[in-house]
Structure formats: structure tokens, C-alpha cells
Structure 1
Amino acid sequence: MAPDTPDDLWSIGELAARAGATVKTVRFYSDAGLLPEAARSGGGHRRYGPDALERLRLIRALRTLDVPLPDIGRVLAEEDALTDAVAGRLRSIGTQLTALRWQEAALRLIQDCPAEERAERLHLIGTVTTPPDTTALARFWRRWLPPRLPARVVSTVLDHTVPQPPDDPTPAQVMAFARLHAFVSRDCASNVPCQPAAHRPDTGYRPAVLYDGLAEAFTLAAPALRADHTPSAGPALDCFVSAYATSLGAPDSPAFRHRLSRELAADPRIDHYWHLTAELSTPTAPTAGAAHTWLREALDAQVGGPADGHGGTGTGTARRLSRAGRRRAA
């Protein structure tokens, strides 16, 4: 029978029985400070008021949803804390679901591959957390970019070059991320600089000027990529070359374009990066990688420079990357 007045108190056993809980549960929440006692009996036994029942029911409901005890304490202490606690729990569940989807796709990747490839795939996948962390990719770009680049430029580059792993990946995307993670985690060979020629101070380029110009060139190339046009000369390519020429303080000339084609082809690492990130991206617009590749191919086509044979990407690569991204976005 419920108490008639606030002075009527329940023992810990009576409160547990009314709430459908065990005495051990009530004692645990009391000891945690979530269920304060109204008083103690003459013999030192706990006594609880009527409000303890509602509080205990709320605590148990939140624990059913796996809301952490510290968050429950804030909900009980602060009037508006429930919304934040629910939002936090939803974020936690989203992370767990993403991790499970990555694990499922990784298991399918192992299950569906030939037996002789399983050891390699397990090794690659074993280096990646679930859900995946892009810290190594950001570190690669910070190492790739020249020192003392303005923070604004670095932030913009990272925003456009570090892909956001999909929440529900395919097995192929798990493999692409694992390969990408392994690629960016490798140390530079002793005879190969970690940075391309345009990023090294001794070559005369001004990287801050270069990246501002490249951003404009990528924007100009986007309509051609969306329309699936073959890489070709035009304002986008002129802006692309001008970015390099201006940052070097050199005139844009046929000789400079030949030189630039050779320089960009001399280090294929960034092209490999773009290929792998294209497998992960689901863009609604061309990525920086696809734009860079399209402009590289346009330059090579114009000067008759290296394409497949000297570290280049080969004609049509940019269009294939852009089409693949649009198909995944559809």
C-alpha cells in the first residue's frame, strides 16, 4: 500500500518490491549517490520516500538504454540534461553500428577471396581500427606539405584530401582503406624525398601561392568532370599551369609546361593516393583528386608528355574516377 503522507517511508526491501527490482540493485544505486535516502531507522536501516520510486524507475529505464551512470547522475541533477544524454547515447550507438558494418564487410572480404590471398588481406585489415581512423592520412599530408604553410591552407588541403570513410562500406572499400592506410603509414625510402619537387624549398616554389591557385583550377575543372569530358586544354588547364608558374615566379611557356609535366610524373605516389581514395569517396561533386588527375592528363596530352610510362596515370583515369564516384553517389 502506498504511503499516505511524505512522512511514510519505505525500507529498502519495500522500495525494491514496488519497483520490481532487487535489494542489491537499490543498494547499488544508493551507494552510487543516484538514489538518496530520506532517513535512517533507529537501527541504522535505510528509509526511502515516495519520490525514490519514480527516481528508481527513471534510473532503470535509462540503464536499459545503456546510458552511462555519470550521464544518469547529470539527468537527475539537471533539468535539461536528458536531451544531451540521449544524444550522446545515439552517437555511441552510431559508432558501434559503423564498427560492426566495417567488421562485417572485412569478414566478407576474407570469406570471398581465394585462399592464397587471405594472409595478405588479414595482415592489411589487422592494421586498421573499426571504425577506421583517418589520423594516419592527415599525418601523411602534413608530412607531404611543405613546412610553414599557413594554417588556413593546411586546413583546406586536409578538408579536400582526407576522405571520410563510409558508414556502411563494401568489402572493396574496406580493402581500399586498408591499402591506403598501409600506403600512408610507410616511411619514405632513403633515396626518395618525402615531398614532391613543388613542395621543397630548394626548388623555388612558393607553396602557399601554389595551393591557392590549385583550388581555383580544381573549381574550373569540375564542370568538365561532371560532364565526363576528355581532359583537354582550356581555362582550367591554364589556371592549373599558372598556379605552378606563379608560385615559382616563372612565365607560362611551352617549355615550362613540358618541365611541369615531367615534374608531376616523376613522383607517382600522389596518383596512387588518389586512386585509393576514389574507391572510398561517394562525392556529389568531383573530388580534388579527380580534378588533379584530369588536369594532369590534360597537360600531358597537350605537351605529349609522360602518361603511362613514367609514373603518370594514363589517359582516361580521371574520367573513370569521376564516373565511379558518381555511380556510388547515385
Structure 2
Amino acid sequence: MSSDSMRSADRTWSIGELAEHAGVTVKTVRFYSDRGLLPEAGRSAGGHRRYGPEALDRLRLIRSLRTLDLPVPEVGRILDQEDTLEDAIAGQLREIGSRMAALRWREAALQLLRDCAPEERVDRLRLIGAMTTPPSTAPLARFWRRWLPPRLPARLVSAIVEQAVPQPPADPTPPQVLAFARLHAFVSGDCRGTDQGQPAAHRSGKGYRPAVLYDGLVEAFALASPELRAQRAPHQGEALDCFVSAYAHACGARDTPAFRQGLSGQLAADPRIDGYWRLVAEVSGPSEPTPGAAHDWLRTALDTQTTRPAA
């Protein structure tokens, strides 16, 4: 008997008949029935399951949804109209994207290990093995929240962390995998910072107002970034004035030649995390200047100004 004739017949189907018309096994029909996805029309006198012809369309829809790799509970919510198919598809696309990103990172990591010198392999394997795949940026964000001076406003901390923490590339090269692994190792060490390991502006008792300083530095770095993209040599101008003003206002001083001279010496003596910024540049690529690169550009502009002989 054809499917159409079965639809028109005023009768119910056994579990075997439904399985036959749907092209599945009896075990499959029973599985979805037991989970409430395939309602029964009733039971036979002997207690066997019976299904109405509409069960065929529902079973075919269930199989189509399952071919999208949707979990059974999610299929049930779609059938009950608790979730939309659009939401389910979007969720699956996100999940597949995450899986593909993990595979791309794993592939690049394997290429890195394959192509390196034998004596480097164990060390690189240790670095890569310490990260998740794809890597999390949470350790980097924690590092910055420890390194920044305490009691900064939350919105300022968020802005700084967003600029300072690179996002893992979706399709990384082996060198980018290595750079991110080294970044992870850098921030996973003992980087809590002491008075000897922090810039002068972070230390208590120095008269600085860190929130004022970092608000100004964020603006100064934004002004310097176009200069770096254009590969212009460090020079005087709005970006440098904003940079110096941030330090002056943070400690209640005036921007004078003497202040600039003293600031140049202070910044030269401050601890640096150049290794971090170098690795960030390797991960992100040269197209977007890092805050570390902007800070170096501004420092060089300041040093050039303060060491230039007076006219």
C-alpha cells in the first residue's frame, strides 16, 4: 500500500508499519516515542502502540532536524513551538564555528610542532599544552586587572583590558599560535607586581591619581595610533601634549619644560613589559598599533624634545 493510500485510510498504523513508510527501524520509532516526540494515537487490544498517519510527517521532520545535529531535547522544543527553527540554526552555526576554530588552532599547532627543530619541540609542546584550544583570553584579562593600579573605575578597566588583550585569530598561522602560547605563559607566571615591579604612577604615596592618568593615556594612545599606522617618526604635537598632560594632571602639576624633563627620566626608569607587547603584535599583526607601541612612540617623542638643544 502506498503512503498516500495509507494517509487516506481511516485507520492507525502499527509501529512496524510506521517504520516501514518512514524508512527507519522500529527501534528508531520506539526511541522517539519513548521521549515524547512522537505521540501515539492509541494502543491495540494487545497493548501495542498505534500511530495515526500524521505521525509520518512528524517523524520525517524529526529526522530532518536530527540531520542538523540538533540535540533531541532541542528537537522537542521546536516541535512544541517553544523554540524557533531560526534560533536553533543560529545556535548550531555558533557551535560549528567554535568547533572549526578549535580545529584550525589544532592544525596550526601541529604544523608548528612538525616544522620546528627537534630540540625546540618539547618546549613548544609544553607551551601549547598549557592552553585551551582555541585559547581563552581570560588569563590575559586577569593579568591586566592585577597589573593595573587598584580602584580604577570599572568602565576604565574594561576599556584598557579591551585594548590590551588580543583576540585569538580565527584562522591562526603557526607563528601566531606560538606567540599566543608565549603570551599565556607570560601572564601565567608570578606577575602580581610589587612596588619594585610597577610603574611609579601605580605606587602608593606618589601623589598620582591613576584614574586621571589612564583616562588621559587612553586618549593619547588613540591620537598616536594614526601616526604609527602612517609610519611617521615620533614628533611633537597633539598626541605628545595629551600624553604629558595626562601625567601632569594625574599628579596635580603643570606641563612645563622642567616637568617634561623629569617625566622623561621617570619613564626611562619605569619597569617595562616590552615582551608582552611584542607578542601581542605578533598575534594581532602589524595593521593595528598596540598600546605598548603607542606608549613607546610617545616616549621617544618626549625624549627627543627634552634632549634637543635649546635654540
Q: TM-score normalized by structure 2?
A: 0.90
SS in 2 for 1:217: helix
Aligned to 2:118: 115
1:66-145 equivalences under 5 Å are 66-78=69-81, 81-145=84-148
The gaps in structure 2 that reach 5 residues or longer are none
1:167-206 equivalences under 5 Å are 167-188=170-191, 193=196, 195-206=198-209
Using the alignment, how far apart are the partners of 1:164 and 1:142 within structure 2? 17
CA contact (8 A) 1:144 1:196 kept: no
SS in 2 for 1:130: coil
Using the alignment, how far apart are the partners of 2:180 and 2:122 within structure 1? 17
Alpha-carbon shift at residue 6 of structure 1 (Å):
7.6
Using the alignment, how far apart are the partners of 2:221 and 2:85 within structure 1? 45
Alpha-carbon shift at residue 257 of structure 1 (Å):
3.0
Aligned residue type for 2:103: L
Alpha-carbon shift at residue 253 of structure 1 (Å):
3.3
| Cα RMSD after superposing both structures | 2.2
SS in 2 for 1:143: helix
Alpha-carbon shift at residue 284 of structure 1 (Å):
5.5
SS in 1 for 2:113: helix
The gaps in structure 1 that reach 5 residues or longer are 306-330
SS in 2 for 1:297: helix
Deviations 1:106-129 (A, max 9, x none): 001111110000011000000011
Is the counterpart of residue 222 in structure 1 residue 225 in structure 2?
Answer: yes
> In the alignment, which of 262, 284, 293 is matched to residue 281 of structure 1?
284
Aligned to 1:293: 296
Q: TM-score normalized by structure 1?
A: 0.85
> In the alignment, which of 146, 152, 169 is matched to residue 149 of structure 2?
146
Aligned to 2:159: 156
CA contact (8 A) 2:147 2:193 kept: no
Alpha-carbon shift at residue 290 of structure 1 (Å):
2.7
Aligned to 1:261: 264
The 1:129–1:262 alpha-carbon spacing in structure 2 relative to 1, beyond 3 Å, is: farther
1:45-56 equivalences under 5 Å are 45-56=48-59
Aligned residue type for 1:133: S
Is the counterpart of residue 12 in structure 1 residue 15 in structure 2?
Answer: yes
CA contact (8 A) 2:199 2:271 kept: no
CA contact (8 A) 2:19 2:25 kept: yes
CA contact (8 A) 1:9 1:47 kept: yes
Bigger radius of gyration, 1 or 2? Answer: 2
Is the counterpart of residue 43 in structure 1 residue 46 in structure 2?
Answer: yes
Q: Tell me which moved more, 136-145 or 28-37.
A: 28-37
CA contact (8 A) 1:98 1:167 kept: yes
Q: Tell me which moved more, 179-188 or 27-36.
A: 27-36
Using the alignment, how far apart are the partners of 2:265 and 2:40 within structure 1? 79
Identity %: 68
The size of the alignment, in residue pairs, is 305
Q: Tell me which moved more, 136-145 or 49-58.
A: 49-58
Using the alignment, how far apart are the partners of 2:46 and 2:107 within structure 1? 57
